[in-house]
Structure 1
Amino acid sequence: MSLDTMNETYQPPFHMTEEITNLIVEIGQYVGSITTYELMHRNPVLRRENRIKSIYSSLAIEQNTLSLDQVSDVINGKRMLGPPEDIREVKNAYEAYERTSKLDPYSVKDLLYAHKLMTEGLVKEAERFRSGNVGVYAGERLIHAGTRARYVLELILQLMTWLKESKYHPLVKSCIFHYEFEFIHPFADGNGRTGRLWQSLILRKWSELFAWLPVETLVHENQEEYYCVLQRADKAGTSTEFAEFMLGMIRNALKELHDNQNHGANEVSAEANEANREANEVESGTIEDQILRFIRANPKISQTRIAEEIGVSRSTIQRAFAKLMERGKVRRSGGTRGSWIIQEKHGYG
């Protein structure tokens, strides 16, 4: 049986809600209005910083002990002291995230390859579905029993077929897949890391913005609720509440990005307005008149001092001086240590 050709009908238990519909609309509006992606796309430093945040957050959820700075050091190739397994997790995760763009979200083979990248050198069954049964524990308490090992391959194949053929919005499908993947728990270890990576891949295929949006950071900040929602969804037998939670996290991440973008745009707009005002004053002669008054009072005054006194930029003063000198109204005598001379014959006395 081929890993990517099985075509069973499978419908994960889920129902649309008004909350989910509203979140889809909100997220779509934010994605449409955010232009920061273009800046990220051109700026490798920003891309790397967001990638590091994603990796740090996803691994911290799984109890990796390294700090954000330490994760950054590992990725940047710096030598550091720390638990070898935690360091290896970071290196593996970085490799996996770097290769995400080349993975097919509907391919089981690619899913296994992603798991290999995430867990190579850490677990015995890297790139293989688990051979035994597993459970998720909180201390000694079992909070989730994964699907029996003999059914894992069949269910993952069916889930991939559903993911490819479902008519749900990609935002919704990414959340349902994430939940169903964790419910099946197909690997002996690395399910959380791989599941979050795969949701990011599904989202990225919908909008490239998600290549650099660290949704994992918000999940990490709400980790306790993340696990509580997973448990409640298990009890309810449907991924609906989990989808609402994850879409809320995505909406919050986009809102933060949108607000930061608008704050920066407002600052740029204010600077542009001020520059326009100064340019208009230069054109109208207002600044030129003030310059002439300062020169009469102190012929040795510098352009920088005049800019400070008037309250405009030095470039604005330089443009005004250029106009005055071009028209023969002002000339310089004695070089840098000299004085400004007003040409009275031009009617400025």
Structure 2
Amino acid sequence: MTYQLLSIFKYNGSGPSKSLDEINQEYQRRLTGYSTVVTNLFPVLDHHEFEQLSTFPLFFIQTNEINTLINQVNRNSKKIIKLAHPLPGVAKHSYTRKLLTAEIYFTNEIEGVKTSRKQIGTIISELNTKKKSTRRLESAIRLYNITLSGKTYQIQTLEDFRKIYDDLLRGEIPESKQPDGHLFRNKAVYIGTESQKIHNPPVNEREIQQKLMPLINFMNDETVLDIPKSLVTHFMFENTHPFYDGNGRMGRYLLSAYLASKLDPYTGLCISSAIHANQSAYYKIFKQTDDVENRADATLFITKLLAIISQGQQDVIESLSQLSVQLEKTAQKINAQFSDPIDQTILYIFAQSKLFSDRDETGIKDTELKEFLYADAPQKFHKRDLQRRIDRFEAAGILKRIKGKPVQHIITNTCI
């Protein structure tokens, strides 16, 4: 039987609509069930267009479908780790950079904030250099990159929310939309359009703090399963909408960072692309969960987001599987065409970079390749010799120069 929110349950299919008493009885049955998790979170629920209520505790039922999806997400994560583990270093690094580019691109795209994949890729490629600037998106990219290294923010205070917001969105929020309270916004806002208000979050900073303090306790509650906890946190943060602008991007960052730490980095980096592919369903389930008729029931919200995350993981699994096979065949082709081990190594690295990089990225720089090989075996790989070989491959049409400063080449389809 498909789980129904109370707003659908009341219609009773083709029979007569349920009475208010019957709806109340069903609500109490759900709230007190053995598999129900009742939180101390009280989201702002929309009643008609301009009225809000915060009298219902957020709850969810651990249905068979939710348990099945959690198992699926965990199994997918193990498959991803298994596929990624044997990849050579350049392939793994390039693919991580590819997913990070997509995550930043799509989290902005969902909000209608236009960005360039090439611009994002360029900033990511320079993260480990001494070159630092105040370029747009650089702060967000650095924060995501820190998350991938295993370091995550531990949110213990309200100030922690503000610090993440400032670090993630530095240079992205216009002056007119900067927080005007001590930490958060201090004026009423609405989500939607002037003619159709979709959600009215807390009206001032005091009410925002009253919502976020219990959320901090919930986030640090180890008795709640990790994955449902991350999804409830995502809903509650967006429902509270503590800032004038950037709430969606921060909410998805929090979800991405948490799943990256609890599952694997690739799962964390497929969140926004998966949501973007299911954007209508994503907004619909938010609206349903915000509806006072459903009395803060997050069961279907969790179910839908688990399905979206699982689909994002499946895309990663399919991509990694195909690329791994292609890389193996490419290595065989290179080894068949070239007998010199150093030539084979150089071309194999360029092949990894091309196959596993984003289509708008330029891949590995010549200096990076030479430094990588020299650090691995300085007696075997001499930088001048490597440069001579790269020049020879370029003259033969095997490598193509795509950039001058710094010099970059990509491998042509001769070897792919």
Q: What is the TM-score normalised by the length of structure 2? A: 0.56
Distance 1:313 1:210 in 2: 33
Measured at CA, do residues 102 and 264 of structure 1 come closer, stay the same or move farther in structure 2, by a change above 3 Å? closer
1:259 aligns with 2:323: no
Distance 1:21 1:195 in 2: 24
Partner deviation per Cα, 1:210-231 (whole Å, 9 max, x = no partner): 4763221111122122111111
Distance 2:337 2:99 in 1: 37
In the TM superposition, what is the alpha-carbon distance from 1:40 to its structure 2 partner? 8.6
Higher CA-based Rg: 1
- Where is the helix percentage greater, Structure 1 or Structure 2? 1
3-state SS in 1 of match to 2:114: coil
In the TM superposition, what is the alpha-carbon distance from 1:73 to its structure 2 partner? 4.7
Partner deviation per Cα, 1:59-81 (whole Å, 9 max, x = no partner): 1111112243344356567xxxx
Report what 1:129 is aligned to.
184
Q: Is the 8 A contact 1:51 1:212 kept in 2?
A: no
What is the CA RMSD across the aligned residues, in angstroms? 3.3
Distance 2:146 2:329 in 1: 41
1:161 aligns with 2:213: no
Report what 1:216 is aligned to.
272
Measured at CA, do residues 147 and 210 of structure 1 come closer, stay the same or move farther in structure 2, by a change above 3 Å? farther
Distance 1:313 1:74 in 2: 37
Aligned length: 263
3-state SS in 1 of match to 2:214: helix
Report what 1:240 is aligned to.
299
Residue segments in structure 1 that go unaligned for 5+ positions in a row: 1-7, 78-86, 276-311, 317-349
Percent of pairs with identical residues = 23
Distance 2:276 2:67 in 1: 25
**Residue number among 133, 138, 155 corresponding to 1:91 in the alignment:** 138
Q: Is the 8 A contact 2:260 2:269 kept in 1?
A: no
Q: Please list, as runs of the form range in 1=range in 2, the aligned pairs for 1:202-213 lying within 5 A after superposition.
A: 202-210=258-266, 213=269
Q: Please list, as runs of the form range in 1=range in 2, the aligned pairs for 1:17-166 lying within 5 A after superposition.
A: 17-34=63-80, 35-38=82-85, 39=87, 43-73=92-122, 88=136, 90-100=137-147, 101-108=150-157, 109-121=159-171, 122=173, 123-125=177-179, 128-138=183-193, 140-149=195-204, 150-166=206-222
Distance 1:183 1:33 in 2: 33
Query: Aligned letter for 1:143?
Result: I
3-state SS in 2 of match to 1:14: strand
In the TM superposition, what is the alpha-carbon distance from 1:254 to its structure 2 partner? 1.4
Between 1:11-20 and 1:223-232, the stretch displaced more is 11-20
1:184 aligns with 2:240: yes
Measured at CA, do residues 68 and 12 of structure 1 come closer, stay the same or move farther in structure 2, by a change above 3 Å? same
Residue segments in structure 2 that go unaligned for 5+ positions in a row: 1-38, 42-56, 127-134, 340-416
Report what 1:322 is aligned to.
none
